[in-house]
Amino acid sequence: GVYEEEITVPSTSKHYDPESKFSTQPHQLTKLINHFHENVKYLPNIALPANLIATPSLKESVEGASILIFNLPHQFIGGLCDQMKGHILPYARGISCIKGVDVSSKDVSLFSESIGEKLGIYCGALSGANIANEVAQEKFSETTIAYDPPPMDSRNPTPKGSTPKGQSPYASQLDLTQITEHKDSKGLTSKVRLTAQPSELPPLDHNTIKLLFHRPYFHVSVVSDVAGVSLGGALKNVVALAAGFVAGLGWGDNAKAAVMRVGLLEMVKFGKIFFNNSAHTATFTEESAGVADLITSCSGGRNYRCAKKSIERKVSIQEVEKEELNGQMLQGTSTAEDVNAFLKARGKEAEFPLLTAVHRILKGEIRPEDLPENMERS
């Protein structure tokens, strides 16, 4: 993992001391984090709380934890989960902070459900207008956490006493903790068989989740729509590319607003068609994970910036990506391709004209200047 790398304190750091061994000899990054209470390489000048302890041992970090938070590039999910198997509590629950969805021509799946299936646990999702360095600096922002508590975690099973009017006497005897099945985001019975959380633990419901994450500078809204929150985090990157294209052409704020409006409609439509059992319009139009994240991404996010610069410099977006992102990859370009393959396989490209137009621009099939006529509903 990245925290196993060895570095010296950079000369630009306030902790740099030419007399100190930390500045002259390589040390594990985890040791530097625990010594200075700062990630001197990846999050410089941000004080980390003393109760946050870095460890290069994945086994050690998950041992005994009833709640697991996943925040890493999506391509590492599989390997990470394989290493965690057999080391986590069987009744652990997760929250995935990995934005986006796993799309292929065959299917759309949620990263939270991929984690759940690999580890045999239930996992929700966190997404929103959360630019990392602004959150780290404790500047005000909001987020959305989607968590639909599985039935076996309920602390309110049907009472065994009197039978409520209209219910069978058998229903009144139901012990929800004995249920192992739960529904996935498509309304199907999940392949995962869950273990109920022990009754001595506080219930992991919406109130508890809000208590864990909410801060005066970081406001949390908790919903049950895991699919909507996850889709918002993926599709907004494609819309941001379109916003960057029109900004690079110098078309102004009206054009960008038009792109965002159409983009939001297509995000809602995608959720309603392909996750009709769980995705709610309000998740996209009212939550930070929907409209707010879309606004942020279309104003200054990396997909927007790289698309804008590719037009201004008259070069491919891949070239800008190499020059600007220091080895990191744009999510919007790969998502645009994957989403198009998914829509094409179902004959649905015409129903999503903006998402389709962005893909065609990236492939060189149409010019960015052709976007208005191509994103118009037929």
Which are the catalytic amino acids?
236
Report the alpha-carbon angle 273-294-186, nearest 5.
25
Determine the 3-state secondary structure of 37 from DSSP: coil
**Cβ neighbours of residue 275 closer than 8 Å, sequence gap 6 or more:** 108, 185, 186, 227, 228, 231
C-beta separation of 176 from 106 below 8 A: no
Rounded Cα distance between 28 and 36, Å, is 13
Question: Taken in order 118, 123, 129, 134, is the CA torsion positive or negative?
Answer: negative
Cα 252 from Cα 102, distance rounded (Å): 33
What are the two backbone dihedrals, phi and then psi, of residue 49, each rounded to the nearest 5 degrees? Answer: -65, 150
Q: d(Cα 239, Cα 256) in Å, to the nearest integer?
A: 10
